[in-house]
């Protein structure tokens, strides 16, 4: 079972992936119909062929179909270079008894372009015993019947119908219907074969045959067919549509007939129709629809004169059939804006498929008046363009009878009544005007002539654009038009236009129209001017401008000929002068492009940078060329060469890829009398000079430069510089030529006028300038001290290259000696060796501006000596000084006679202040200059300190909550006694604490924590104090304890702390482990103790891991100095395994008594394996801190509790008053006796928060008496 399933699965996989054909074994029955819209029942035999049958929606009429594809059905394209033969087939049951007298009908829709000879569809009927082989074509053999011929050359759906298929040899068996595609692997055109809407039946009602259409007019046509035998009982039905979609069995017919022809008389002019006919044998039995093909109604003839510029609408009919390249109407090309033109993409572009043979026609019917003879010839003009292929892809113009309808795919040939106008039109990518003034319409007199524009391409090679037609004029003129328009004597501002007069001359002369736009004038366009002559001198033209012109005869005020265009012309250039520099910010080059496909343009598609002139095949959009279109084009500029010129330099930037010896840029110098011709290369000749060779194979910008071009043959005349691009029509590489930055100069070695820039002269440098000659001269510079015989540099003159600007500048930097007279000379150089006469200038360098070195000596309390050196020659000096702290406006200078001058170089500054820091600077000024040299760097010094000066450096080196270590700079100078007075006080108090000190350091003790102080110090000078220093403020800090913690506490930690103070409540704290716990801010954990008490007990419970030992230490900072001193350790235990450690201790009699916010701290520490050391963290254990509040032993209150009392004292904000009435009053005095506050005591409280810190006196006046108290404001 498993093997069977596996084999089946593999079979399905092979089928799915194409190794085995997709099979449909069950034969279909007649009637067989397949439109492929829902499914496919054909077997596809593809093998390993590249182009395969596929089922899908890439082609269908409509919906899905089966078709050839090279991408698994994504498209209906095929690989033309890969030989392929593939088949699609369906088996169909043929009823027994089928004979030749009951023929079958087969119809299907198909399309295939392919190749005429070699890529096509074939249809076969074969026995089911014969299976076609992919890669091998079916051939004639026993029982094999080919239906029809090879099917191809159709890009639109066609209907194949065969109503007489003899299936007698297949009667009672199955027949295999095979569609075979073959392509030969050479050339061809997609789409490949496609099949849809298959019908196969043995009809009980036969279909009509030989459908035809006759007598087509603008609104009528007669359709006919060959009837069936016997005639159908219910006659025939016909269906007419402007769509090529075939009707179905249920489609409502357009009409019915018992005969075999019908006149259709409600048609629209110039419209394509399609029709089908079927027989109706009974109410329930009809034949299939037989297609009659398409036909087009004729046009309503236009009348002469006929004019069509296609700007609004199109009235031409198109005969395109299934050709790949078709006539369309649109705006992809126009002169201007619309036209009719050939297109392979339904009008999007004017391109054509060069490999697809096509013959298509555009036509217009025009009535010719009766009586028209050869003596009254017609005039036909139109604009056209077409590149194509010289021999084989072209436009033709025909005049044929309206009864002659061209056939798509077939060229019109000479025949009765057919007249070809002109020859083959092609090889033109720009609009041309065709004019024929002698068209003989005599054979069409009184009838309708059909004007036909025919495009033909042979399917080999070619170059777009294909044919296009615009601005058609067809008339029998009553006013003859002038002929042979010509242009002569073109200059930069003038030209002469001329023509051949009409016979007889027009009564009102001629009108001409001049424009820079190629759009032709119309009948109502106002003329530029009028004349009775046959030539007009045009003046006031713009140089280097292309002009277009037209002329017409004017026979009367109401009758004029059509406009006839003359040859366009380009005014010559106004010659440029030398030097000539062109970076193409604008363009002054002229272009000789003619009708070449690849043209010179000016733009920004290529530039070095940003604009340039370059070759382009799309009017400058890109710098690309059509490599298959032979082109020779020129860009030129006229340049006046001065008389006497011999040698010049020419340079330009260029780039071009092209093709080795076939696509390249050339550069020529030619006389202005020689005008290049588009399409023709310049060759060597009299007065013609080629610069270099062929330029190509460079994708990046290159620079050409030739400084030795001999222009003597052009001296005193005008030279034409020409850039010529030539490409073959074979191969090549993008991009074509680009040219930029053209420079022509004539060098002159005239002696330059040199200026030594005065402001540039320094002690060792100077800058010289001179005009740069516009001929591109180079220069040489030499210099030396006057009187020296050696020019500098010793190695030879300095070479200076030419520049683009007007002024040369050269700095002689760092090369000169101070205070020296120099001579400098400059000479112009042409072509390296042609050195002109040197110029001559002299100048003197300035003195050395380097500031001198400054030294300060002999510094006293009021003076200092300043010395500077070295002294430089030819300079004066000045000195200045100021306090370092003073602004820049405070500099002082010596009083008259001022700073000592060389050879003197020192000065004594007096009048200085003791112990002040000064800065001094010195600078020089070169003699003869009004600009001083830079100041020297400031030299800083401090005058000597005298005893009266307050000691500097007063500072605190160590500040504690109750002490401060103070230092200052000692005084050892004149009058020193080595004694000092230090004084300090709390900020706000009136009195000082004075301390006599014999060293320059002192430690102040007895300070209060978190209190602001001020202090001063003064020298004692021979018994008399000097000046005190400015006030120095400091604030004592609060107590801060060192950090201490464990790392691990999971196994060893403090589990409970019990404090049992003597005479105070017990405190117990049970905790879980932590590295550090701070209980100092937890009021319930406060410990109260009494100063001087004994018998206080501390108990610490430990949690230990099995077998672990731990030590315990407990400290209380009794003196509140922020340090747990050794004598403050009240417990040291272990390390041991005991789970409890305890100790009894006494509180020192001088222990710190706590206030409302100042207490001492107890630290409890437990560490594994050691007794903790204060301020040292450890690995295992715990640390806890607690607040301890120490109070004095209560004493008997000696105060009379009925007296007036104040508290607290010291006080921070609210002073409470006890035992006073509601009318009590108060006054507060400073320690100096100054009253600062008074009022009524409200609610027994006085707000003193705004008082500064210090001692105060308060007087209280109440009905109970008067009291005076002192209090301290903290």
Tell me the CATH number at 97: 2.60.120.200
What mean pLDDT comes out for the span 763-781? 94
- At residue 1012, the pLDDT reads 95
What mean pLDDT comes out for the span 175-188? 95
| Residue 685 domain-assigned (yes or no) | yes
pLDDT confidence of 442, banded at 50, 70, 90?
very high
| Residue 10 domain-assigned (yes or no) | no
Query: In this predicted structure, which of 12-26, 612-626, 699-713 has the lowest mean pLDDT?
Result: 12-26
What six digits make up the tokens of 12?
A: 């399905």
Verify that 85 and 157 share a domain, yes or no: yes
Query: In this predicted structure, which of 227-236, 1189-1198, 1244-1253 has the lowest mean pLDDT?
Result: 1189-1198
Residue 115 is classified by DSSP as B
| Residue 570 domain-assigned (yes or no) | no
- At residue 409, the pLDDT reads 87
pLDDT higher than 90, residue 833? no
| pTM given for the model | 0.47
Verify that 73 and 157 share a domain, yes or no: yes
* CA atoms of 991 and 1004, how far apart (whole Å): 16
What mean pLDDT comes out for the span 251-270? 94
Instruction: Dihedral sign for Cα 476, 477, 480, 485, please.
Output: negative
Q: pLDDT tens digit string along 873-887? A: 999 999 999 999 999
Domain boundary among 745, 774, 802: 745
Domain range spanning residue 427? 302-475
pLDDT higher than 80, residue 710? yes
- At residue 127, the pLDDT reads 96
| Residue 207 domain-assigned (yes or no) | no
Contact (CB, 8 A) for 815 and 785: no
pLDDT higher than 80, residue 253? yes
Verify that 898 and 976 share a domain, yes or no: no
Range 845-862 burial, b when 16+ CB lie within 10 A, else e: bbbbbebbebebeebebe
Verify that 1066 and 1094 share a domain, yes or no: yes
Average pLDDT of the chain to the nearest whole number: 92
Contact (CB, 8 A) for 1226 and 1258: yes
pLDDT higher than 90, residue 580? yes
Domain boundary among 1000, 1035, 1070: 1035
Q: Which residues pair with 994 in a beta bridge?
A: 983
Contact (CB, 8 A) for 322 and 155: yes
pLDDT higher than 90, residue 951? yes
pLDDT confidence of 20, banded at 50, 70, 90?
very low
Verify that 546 and 431 share a domain, yes or no: no
What mean pLDDT comes out for the span 837-857? 95
pLDDT confidence of 1198, banded at 50, 70, 90?
low
CATH classification at residue 1053? 2.60.40
Task: Tell the residue number behind the tokens 């100063």, with chain if given.
Answer: 1091
Q: Report how many domains make up the chain.
A: 10
Verify that 134 and 255 share a domain, yes or no: no
Q: pLDDT tens digit string along 1124-1151? A: 999 999 999 999 999 999 999 999 999 9
- Termini Cα distance of the chain: 107
Query: In terms of pLDDT, which residue wins out, 673 or 999?
Result: 999
Helix (H, G, I), strand (E, B) or coil at 713: helix
- At residue 21, the pLDDT reads 46
Verify that 697 and 778 share a domain, yes or no: no
| Residue 805 domain-assigned (yes or no) | yes
| Residue 322 domain-assigned (yes or no) | yes
- At residue 520, the pLDDT reads 85
Residue 663 is classified by DSSP as B
Contact (CB, 8 A) for 258 and 235: yes
What mean pLDDT comes out for the span 998-1009? 92
- At residue 1200, the pLDDT reads 66
Domain boundary among 269, 296, 323: 296
| Residue 1 domain-assigned (yes or no) | no
Contacts of 370 (CB under 8 A, 6+ apart): 445, 446
- At residue 35, the pLDDT reads 92
CATH classification at residue 833? 2.60.40.10
Nearest to 373 by CA among 443, 435, 301: 443
pLDDT higher than 80, residue 753? yes
Contact (CB, 8 A) for 11 and 21: no
Instruction: Dihedral sign for Cα 930, 931, 933, 934, please.
Output: positive
Residue ranges of alpha helices (H) inside 658-773 are none
Verify that 408 and 310 share a domain, yes or no: yes
Verify that 264 and 311 share a domain, yes or no: no
Verify that 726 and 659 share a domain, yes or no: yes
pLDDT higher than 60, residue 355? yes
Q: pLDDT tens digit string along 661-672? A: 999 999 999 998
pLDDT confidence of 1195, banded at 50, 70, 90?
low
Verify that 837 and 899 share a domain, yes or no: no
pLDDT higher than 70, residue 1210? yes
| Residue 947 domain-assigned (yes or no) | no
pLDDT higher than 70, residue 365? yes
Query: In terms of pLDDT, which residue wins out, 922 or 247?
Result: 922
Verify that 692 and 824 share a domain, yes or no: no
> How many residues in the chain?
1274
- At residue 25, the pLDDT reads 52
Count the Cβ atoms, other than its own, within 10 Å of residue 833.
6
* CA atoms of 329 and 1266, how far apart (whole Å): 126
> What's the distance, CA 62 to chain centroid?
46
CATH classification at residue 1243? 2.60.40.3080
CA–CA distance from 919 to each of 312, 862, 1062 (Å)? 94, 14, 72
Query: In this predicted structure, which of 701-710, 1007-1016, 1193-1202, 1224-1233 has the lowest mean pLDDT?
Result: 1193-1202
Query: In this predicted structure, which of 547-556, 649-658, 673-682, 1090-1099 has the lowest mean pLDDT?
Result: 673-682
Rg of the chain taking only CA atoms, in angstroms? 60
Share of the chain above pLDDT 70, in %: 97
**List of E strands, 884-974:** 906-909, 917-926, 939-942, 955-959, 964-967
Share of the chain above pLDDT 90, in %: 75
Nearest to 658 by CA among 735, 723, 729: 735
């Amino acid at each position: 079972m498993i093997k069977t399933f596996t084999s089946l699965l593999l079979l399905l996989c092979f089928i799915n992936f194409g190794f085995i054909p997709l099979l449909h074994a069950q034969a279909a029955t007649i009637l067989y119909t397949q439109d492929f819209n829902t499914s496919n029942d054909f077997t596809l035999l593809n093998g390993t062929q590249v182009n395969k049958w596929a089922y899908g929606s890439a082609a269908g009429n409509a919906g899905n179909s089966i078709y050839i594809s090279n991408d698994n059905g994504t498209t209906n394209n095929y690989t033309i270079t890969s030989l392929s033969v593939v088949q699609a087939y369906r088996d169909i049951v043929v009823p027994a008894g089928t004979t030749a007298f009951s023929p079958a009908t087969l119809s299907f829709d198909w399309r295939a372009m392919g190749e005429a000879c070699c890529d096509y569809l074939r249809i076969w009927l074969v026995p089911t015993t014969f299976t076609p082989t992919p890669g091998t074509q079916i051939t004639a053999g026993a029982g094999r019947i080919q239906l029809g011929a090879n099917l191809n050359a159709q890009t639109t759906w066609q209907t194949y119908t065969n109503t007489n298929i003899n299936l007698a040899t297949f009667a009672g068996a199955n027949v295999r219907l095979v569609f075979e595609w073959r392509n030969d692997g050479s050339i061809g055109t997609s789409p490949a074969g496609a099949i849809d809407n298959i019908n196969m039946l043995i009809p009980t009602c036969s279909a009509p045959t030989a459908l035809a259409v006759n007598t087509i007019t603008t609104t009528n046509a007669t359709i006919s067919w060959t009837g069936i035998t016997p005639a159908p009982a219910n006659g025939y039905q016909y269906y007419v549509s402007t769509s090529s979609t075939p009707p179905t069995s249920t489609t409502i017919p357009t009409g019915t007939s018992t005969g075999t022809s019908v006149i259709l008389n409600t048609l629209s002019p110039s419209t394509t129709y399609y029709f089908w006919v079927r027989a109706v044998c009974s109410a329930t039995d009809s034949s299939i629809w037989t297609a009659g093909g398409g036909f087009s109604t004729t046009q309503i003839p236009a009348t002469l004169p006929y004019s069509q510029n296609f700007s609004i609408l199109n009235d031409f009919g198109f005969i395109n059939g299934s050709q790949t390249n078709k006539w369309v109407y649109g705006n992809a090309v126009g002169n201007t804006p619309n036209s009719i033109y050939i297109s392979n993409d339904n009008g999007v572009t004017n391109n054509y498929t060069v490999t697809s043979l096509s013959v298509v026609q555009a036509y217009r019917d025009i009535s010719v008046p009766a009586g028209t003879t050869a003596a009254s010839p017609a005039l036909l003009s139109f604009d056209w363009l077409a590149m194509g292929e010289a021999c084989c892809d072209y436009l033709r113009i025909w005049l044929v009878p309206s009864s002659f309808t061209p056939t798509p795919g077939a060229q019109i040939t000479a025949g009765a009544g057919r007249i070809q106008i002109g020859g083959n039109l092609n090889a033109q990518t720009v609009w041309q005007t065709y004019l024929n003034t002698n068209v003989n319409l005599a054979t069409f007199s009184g009838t309708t002539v059909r004007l036909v524009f025919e495009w033909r391409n042979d399917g080999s090679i070619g170059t777009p654009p294909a044919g296009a037609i615009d601005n058609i004029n067809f008339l029998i003129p009553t006013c003859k038009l002038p002929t042979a328009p010509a242009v002569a004597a073109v200059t930069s501002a003038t030209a002469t236009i001329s023509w051949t007069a009409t016979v007889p001359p027009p009564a009102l002369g001629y009108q001409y129209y001049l424009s820079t736009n190629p759009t032709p004038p119309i009948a109502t366009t106002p003329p530029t001017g009028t004349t009775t002559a046959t030539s007009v001198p045009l003046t006031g033209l713009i140089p280097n401008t292309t002009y277009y012109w037209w002329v017409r005869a004017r026979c009367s005020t109401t009758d004029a000929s059509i406009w006839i265009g003359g040859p366009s012309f380009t005014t010559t250039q106004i010659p440029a002068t030398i030097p000539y520099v062109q970076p193409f910010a604008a363009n002054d080059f002229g272009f000789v492009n003619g009708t070449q496909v690849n043209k010179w343009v000016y733009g920004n598609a290529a530039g070095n940078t940003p604009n340039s002139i370059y070759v382009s095949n799309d009017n400058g959009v890109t710098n690309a060329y059509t490599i298959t279109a032979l082109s020779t084009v020129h860009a030129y500029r006229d340049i006046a060469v001065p008389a006497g010129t011999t040698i010049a330099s020419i340079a330009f930037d260029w780039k071009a890829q092209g093709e080795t010896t076939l696509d390249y840029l050339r550069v020529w110098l030619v006389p202005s009398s020689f005008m290049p011709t588009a399409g023709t290369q310049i060759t060597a000749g009299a007065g013609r000079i080629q610069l270099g060779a062929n330029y190509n194979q460079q994708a990046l910008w290159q620079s050409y430069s030739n400084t030795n071009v001999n222009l003597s043959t052009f001296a005193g005349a005008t030279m034409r510089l020409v850039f010529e691009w030539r490409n073959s029509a074979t191969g090549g590489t993008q991009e074509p030529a680009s040219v930029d930055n053209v420079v022509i100069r004539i060098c002159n070695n005239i002696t330059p006028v040199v200026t030594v820039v005065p402001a540039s002269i320094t002690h060792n440098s100077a800058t010289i300038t001179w005009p740069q000659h516009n001929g591109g001269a180079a220069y040489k510079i030499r210099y030396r001290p006057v009187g020296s015989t050696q020019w500098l540099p010793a190695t030879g003159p300095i070479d200076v290259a030419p520049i683009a600007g007007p002024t040369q500048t050269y700095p002689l930097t760092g090369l000169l000696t101070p205070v020296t007279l120099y001579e400098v000379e400059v000479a112009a150089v042409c072509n390296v060796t042609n050195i002109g006469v040197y110029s001559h200038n002299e100048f003197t360098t300035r003195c050395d501006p380097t500031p001198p070195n400054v030294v300060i000596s002999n510094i006293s309390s009021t003076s200092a000596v300043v010395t500077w050196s070295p002294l430089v020659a030819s300079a004066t000096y000045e000195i200045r000084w100021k306090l370092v702290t003073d602004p820049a406006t405070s500099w002082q200078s010596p009083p008259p006679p001022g700073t000592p001058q060389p050879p003197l170089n020192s000065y004594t500054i007096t009048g200085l202040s003791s112990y002040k820091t000064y800065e001094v600077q010195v600078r020089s000024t070169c003699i003869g200059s009004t600009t001083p040299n830079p100041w020297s760097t400031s030299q800083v010094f401090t005058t000597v300190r005298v005893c009266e000066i307050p000691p500097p450096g007063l500072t605190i080196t160590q500040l504690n909550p109750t002490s401060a270590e103070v230092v200052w700079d000692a005084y050892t100078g004149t009058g020193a006694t080595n004694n000092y007075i230090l004084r300090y006080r709390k900020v706000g108090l009136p009195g000082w604490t004075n301390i006599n000190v014999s060293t320059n350091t002192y430690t102040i003790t007895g300070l209060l924590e978190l209190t602001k102080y001020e202090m001063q110090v003064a020298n004692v000078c021979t018994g008399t104090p000097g000046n005190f220093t400015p006030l120095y403020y400091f604030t004592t800090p609060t107590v801060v304890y060192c950090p201490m913690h464990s790392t691990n506490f999971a196994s060893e930690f403090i589990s409970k702390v019990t404090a049992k103070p003597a005479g105070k409540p017990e405190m117990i704290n049970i905790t879980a482990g932590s590295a550090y716990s701070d209980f100092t801010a937890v009021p319930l954990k406060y410990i109260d103790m009494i100063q001087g008490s004994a018998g206080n007990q501390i108990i610490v419970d430990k949690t230990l891991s099995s077998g672990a030992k731990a030590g315990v230490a407990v400290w209380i900072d009794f003196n509140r100095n922020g340090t747990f001193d050794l004598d403050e350790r009240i417990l040291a235990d272990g390390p041991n395994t005991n789970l409890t450690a305890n100790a009894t201790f006494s509180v020192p009699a001088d222990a710190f008594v706590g206030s409302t916010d100042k207490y001492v701290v107890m630290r409890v520490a437990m560490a594994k394996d050691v007794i903790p050391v204060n301020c040292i963290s450890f690995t295992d254990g715990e640390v806890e801190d607690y607040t301890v509040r120490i109070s004095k032993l209560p004493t008997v209150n000696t105060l009379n509790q009925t007296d007036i009392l104040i508290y607290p004292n010291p006080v921070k904000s609210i002073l409470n008053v006890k035992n006073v009435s509601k009318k009590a009053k108060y006054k507060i005095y400073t320690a100096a006796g100054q009253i600062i506050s008074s009022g009524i005591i409200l609610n027994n409280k006085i707000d003193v928060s705004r008082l500064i810190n210090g001692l105060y006196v308060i007087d209280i006046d109440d009905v109970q008496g008067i009291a005076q108290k002192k209090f301290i404001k903290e």
